[in-house]
Chain A
Amino acid sequence: MMSDGPDIQPLPSAPPAELQRAQEERLLRAWKMPSGWRYWSEVNNTVVGLWYVAGTFLFFLFGGVLALLMRIQLAAPGNEFLSAEMYNQVFTVHGSVMMFLFAIPIFESIAILFLPQMLGARDLPFPRVSAFGLWCFLLGGIFLCGSIFFNAAPAGGWFMYPPLTSKYQPGIGADIWLLGFSFIELAAIAAAVELIVGVLKCRPPGMRINLIPLYCWYVLVAAVMVVFAFPPLIAGSLLLEIERAFDWPFFDPARGGDPLLWQHLFWLFGHPEVYIIFLPSVALIAMIVPTFAGRPIVGYSWIVLAAVGTGFLSFGLWVHHMFTTGLPGVSLALFSAASEAVAIPTGVQIFCFIATLAAGRVTRSVPMLWVFGALAIFVLGGLTGVMVALAPFDFQAHDTFFVVGHLHYVLIGGAVFPIVAGCYYFFPLINGKKLSVRLGKVSFWLAFIGFNVAFFPMHLTGLRGMPRRVFTYPPEAGWDVLNLLSTIGAFILAAGLAVFFWDMIRPKKKQPLCERNPWNAGTLEWLAEMPGKKWGMRTIPEIDSRYPLWDQPNFTRDYDEGRFYLPDAEEGKRETLVTSVIDARPVQCLRLAGPSFLPFWAAITIGGAFIFGTYHWWWPALISAVLGLGVTLVWLWTGTAFIPEKEQKDVGLGLTLPLYESGSKSVGWWAMFIVMLADMTAFICLVFGYFFYWTIHEDFPPASATGPGVFWPGVAAGLLTGAWALTALARRWNKRDRAMGFYAGLLTAGALAVAGGAALIAGPWLTGLDPKSHVYPAIVWALVIWTAFHIGLGVIMQGYCLARRLAGRMTARHDIDIANVTLYWHFTVITVVITVAVIAGFPLVK
């Protein structure tokens, strides 16, 4: 119950029936899906989310078929079903597809689909960004998967260790991996940004921080993890691709590089990645269990703390993937201890689910069956995880089929089974019909039995000496029976999943609609009618409980009659509420973007730059990048920061809210902030690279290094600090409506920025640093080019603000653009200062 603040009640009586009809009609019109081929320009989360989920499942099927091919090859020793070259592509693409094109996108797509309804919102705050993410995902995924049909797929394993991938795999496979996935990762970060802002800022009034549905907490934690975990991989991929394309020796020991840097950067991403996969999947269990126990979750706060704790802790475990690389015993001990410790918050969550079931009256159902399977499998996987977390045992188990068994137990138990449970549970929200109980049970038992027959023997196979990633094995090794068993199990598992997929896609026209809230759940997404309406929410409700459908009297009636906020779309616009972070007080009425093809074109052109770059077609890549920039600018210009026709709007229940907010009150500012956190993380990884090389060389920078000197970096720092200061001042002048000051300030800032960027490049250029000769010049150049690129983007942004003000789309009051650009420049000047301190300052003090 609310303890302080006014107790907002819904309207005491229903609006007249004709008004309700009119409201509903206007809402439906505002949220109407475009027809014909324009359907593909829709950006509503219910549509984009569905395509995204469908695409993800298609990639899952593709990866699954690859797995079956692998199992056929391994069913007998000396088998010749797949050649060595093909097998190595197949296992690489299987792992990469499952990790990057299934496990991450499924969490993001399910969240895009359901998060707004769980939060009583009409959509996520940046619908076109969701659509952009979807198109990037599809384009990048098809590019990657298609390569195997041309015998040009990556073949370095899903973690792509150099020097194998830097020097010994010519051909474009590795480049497809590096560039294709970096492109997709950018889209994943964009989706994560949106989910964070959605959970923090777009909740129903009254949904204080301790009333947020557990699924949303989990998604928040996972999305924050994405912001910090994906950049190390992007940074590492950048370095590896530059080594492949231009021969800069980041991972070449002959010229001062080190293959281990890749492992650190990769696993800094890779370990949090598996928790990013696990947490949102177990979040589905957290929503299913209370419903079928018929009572609220027991231990809500503990689950939240456990999820947050797991998120934090997971960034401190990565070295357990490197136990056999010869690191000192102290490191191994620390990372063993941390890796064991993460079992505790994980266990707390599982016990919360069990406690909830014990404290409730359990209804058996197909979702609960899959939840049981998930927990049974995941707990076993967690226990083998505790085993391999201990370095001495890992010395034997690392890189064997024991780990293959372990990882499939935690991923299939911790992600796939919960996702299937979620599909059975949430399916009515898609089209108002339930999936089949009979097919649900059949698919479960096939999948459960098949999975265990396939993967349990692998623990033994691995300890009996079979390493990972082998295309065949000798008959004398004695692994035949175990491998054949695994193959048989794999096909049984595949059969089970096939039955599940059939259940999803079979025609259901003749099947009757199910009743509203068929499971008698307590959370907001189950307000949906069967079938759901495109508006997402009839009205944005006021909340004072974790389970409003159970606790708040007459809640569904009040909702249906529009007795809460925003029951209408008087101006025909798509709208939702922005609320404060902790107490969810409404602070703004947010106008959402409508259908557009611009996100699609942005994805095509930006993706084109990556794809052409893979083939080293530099001019087409550059042109595509420029076009991508252009499309993005058009998207920003035509689709964001609209000056509304009025300052305030009546949102219902006697509340008026502004339609336009800028600065830290605006969702766009938050998005910029979070994106820049990700960007800074990638930059810090490059800095980490510099100091990593310093730790492994006695002489770093090497005595023979000629640059970059102190003068030019110093000049650059001065000029760029000036550019930053003038940009910030320009914002202030714009606020005070001093137009001339604004224009002069921003133009000068732009000029200083260009000069500063040139000065920064002059440092290594004029001192003759050759990045191919040694890793020191290479990493200095990498830092300089990264910074210069960001300066360039900053100059474009300054120009954009100038144009916006000139065109009257930005005023003293309506200054989102310059506010966000100033925020960007805060981060950029920090990047500049750190770069200069490192490349110019460190050689002086070391």
Chain B
Amino acid sequence: MRAFRLSGNRVHFVPGWWLALPGTLVLASCSGNQSSLAPAGREAEQIARLFWWMTAGAVAIWLAVAGLFFYAVRRRTEPRSERWGRLLILVGGAVVPAVVLGGLLAYGLSMMPPLVNRAPPGTRTIAVDGAMWWWRVSYPGPDGRTVELANEIRLPVGEPVEFQLTSSDVIHSFWIPSLAGKRDMIPGRLTHLALTPVRTGVFRGQCAEYCGTSHALMSFDVVVVEKEEFAAWLAQQAAPARAPVESLAISGQKQFLANGCGACHSVRGTPARGLIGPDLTHVGSRMSLGAGILPNEPDAFLRWIAHTPTVKPEVHMPAFGMLPPEELQALAAYLEGLK
């Protein structure tokens, strides 16, 4: 929108043109797959509604106070009386805030119990353990056994879930802004977060408590799908790893075991049963790598394995850049194939 328009021989200043700026800002700011203002979960929806009401109130109050200030300082012949002033203080400083805050508390606190309480028994429970700087995820499997994965969560739309949150080292915070508020993961304690996704899509979660050097690089993908798709996915995750078929991948599996990767990583169905690092049984079918910081591509696997501390400073995994390029390619092909 142009600030000026030509009319005849004169230039007219378009009033209100500048409103477009914050307007665009606001519109631009709401969207995103990691945005609490583009809710996809019941809890996030309620909180977003609360936010918009509060914002409207805040704008109104700010304008009122600013208006009063300008009224107070403008040049006048007669100053207002002290009695008027005291009334202003009483009403504006005490009565109106008390009423507004009382109402706000009633609204806000009434929506709190489902956000803090435990979900009813029988709710699907997903265990997430925060580590520096990745997420260990455990689902109850279709056959009763636990399904281990890492850095990705899939949820059936419309169904409540409860996350059981722990940490094995420092304080992390589990946060999926599009779905719900966050909950801290505190060593020595068990916390819970209940939420219900209401539309399908791919969202992003991120650690929200400073947890050391690569705190900024600790994210995860959240995929909300239809119930049938979810069941299929869970069954596939529960299954052991696919055996590699083409020669590069077969060679990669040999390299994987020979280089000791199995000491830290599990690939179910192979001798690799390490529990220190993320489970890699189906890493090839994840949305991203490295806890949400790399795309799931062979190149990314290469970068991660060869230059680990460059990708994620001070990460606990040692780099394997000393391996010859063919071995690295083979490893990448193998892991890519673990779908």
Contact = CB atoms under 8 A, between A and B. Distances in A.
Tell me if chain B binds chain A: yes
Interface of A: 83-85, 88, 155-157, 161, 163-164, 167-169, 253-254, 257-260, 295, 298-299, 302, 306, 324-326, 328-329, 332-333, 336-337, 340-341, 343-344, 347-352, 354-362, 364, 368, 372, 375-376, 379-380, 383-384, 386-387, 390-396, 398-400, 457, 460-461, 463-465, 467-474, 477-478, 481-482
Given A380-B62, A472-B216, A340 B181 contact: no
Categorize the interface residue count of chain B. 35 or more
14 contacts: A163-B187, A257-B188, A259-B187, A326-B191, A336-B105, A352-B85, A355-B85, A359-B79, A379-B62, A396-B44, A396-B181, A460-B25, A467-B207, A468-B210
Given A163-B170, A395-B180, A469-B210, A344 B93 contact: yes
B337 interface: no
A391 B300 CA distance: 40
B188 A254 contact: yes
Interface stretch (B2-10, B28-36, B224-232, B248-256): B28-36
Nearest to A375: B69
A352 B215 contact: no
Given A340-B101, A355-B86, A380-B62, 11 more contacts: A85-B213, A88-B212, A253-B187, A302-B89, A332-B116, A336-B109, A359-B84, A379-B65, A379-B66, A393-B50, A464-B29
Per CB-CB distance, the 3 closest pairs between chain A and chain B, nearest first, are A395-B181, A253-B188, A355-B85
A324 B58 contact: no
B216 A355 contact: no
Nearest to A325: B184
A326 to B, nearest CB: 4
Given A340-B101, A398-B208, A469-B210, A168 B132 contact: yes
Given A387-B51, A387-B58, A474-B293, A164 B211 contact: yes
A352 B89 contact: yes
Nearest to A328: B116
Contacts, number: 279
A359 B82 contact: yes
A477 B32 contact: yes
Contact of A344 (B79, B84, B97): B97
A464 B93 CA distance: 33
A399 B169 CA distance: 19
A471 to B, nearest CB: 5
A789 B301 CA distance: 58
B266 interface: no
Contact of A85 (B30, B182, B313): B313
Contacts of A461: 29
Identify which of B25, B30, B180 gathers the most chain A CB atoms within 10 Å of its CB: B25
A348 B94 contact: yes
Contacts of A257: 188
A823 to B, nearest CB: 41
B29 A482 contact: yes
B29 A157 contact: no
Contact of A465 (B206, B210, B213): B206
A354 B72 CA distance: 6
A357 B47 contact: no
Identify which of B46, B76, B112 gathers the most chain A CB atoms within 10 Å of its CB: B112
B62 A324 contact: no
B108 interface: yes
B36 A463 contact: yes
Contacts of B209: 161, 399
A362 B192 CA distance: 56
B118 to A, nearest CB: 11
Contacts of A465: 32, 34-36, 177-178, 204, 206
A392 B44 contact: no
Interface of B: 25-26, 28-32, 34-37, 44, 46-47, 50-51, 54-55, 58, 61-62, 65-66, 68-69, 71-76, 79-82, 84-86, 88-89, 92-94, 97-98, 101, 104-105, 108-109, 111-113, 115-117, 132, 169-171, 173, 175, 177-178, 180-184, 186-189, 191-192, 204, 206-217, 293, 313-314
B132 A393 contact: no
Given A350-B65, A391-B108, A392-B47, A358 B72 contact: yes
Contacts of B208: 398-400, 467-468
A549 B26 CA distance: 52
Given A329-B117, A478-B31, A471 B216 contact: yes
Contacts of B187: 163, 253, 259
Contacts of A169: 212
Given A253-B187, A352-B93, A383-B61, A329 B72 contact: no
Contacts of A164: 170-171, 210-212
A256 to B, nearest CB: 9
A467 B219 CA distance: 11
A253 B46 CA distance: 35
A163 to B, nearest CB: 5
A386 B58 contact: yes
B125 to A, nearest CB: 16
Contacts of B314: 84-85
Contact of B79 (A358, A390, A478): A358
A386 B101 contact: yes
B214 A84 contact: yes
Contacts of B84: 355, 358-359
A359 B233 CA distance: 71
A348 B87 CA distance: 11
Nearest to A388: B54
Contacts of A325: 184, 186, 191
A161 B171 contact: yes
A260 B186 contact: yes
Contacts of B216: 84, 469-473
Given A259-B187, A354-B68, A482-B29, A84 B313 contact: yes
B61 A464 contact: no
A169 B209 CA distance: 16
Given A360-B79, A473-B216, A259 B93 contact: no
Identify which of B61, B66, B68, B79 gathers the most chain A CB atoms within 10 Å of its CB: B79
Contacts of A254: 188
Nearest to A465: B34
Contacts of B184: 324-326
A253 B170 contact: no
A496 B102 CA distance: 40
A478 B32 contact: yes
Contact of B112 (A329, A357, A468): A329
A323 to B, nearest CB: 9
A387 B105 CA distance: 10
A318 to B, nearest CB: 16
B101 A260 contact: no
A326 B183 contact: yes
B251 to A, nearest CB: 33
A370 B108 CA distance: 35
A460 B31 CA distance: 11
Given A350-B65, A356-B85, A383-B61, A332 B36 contact: no
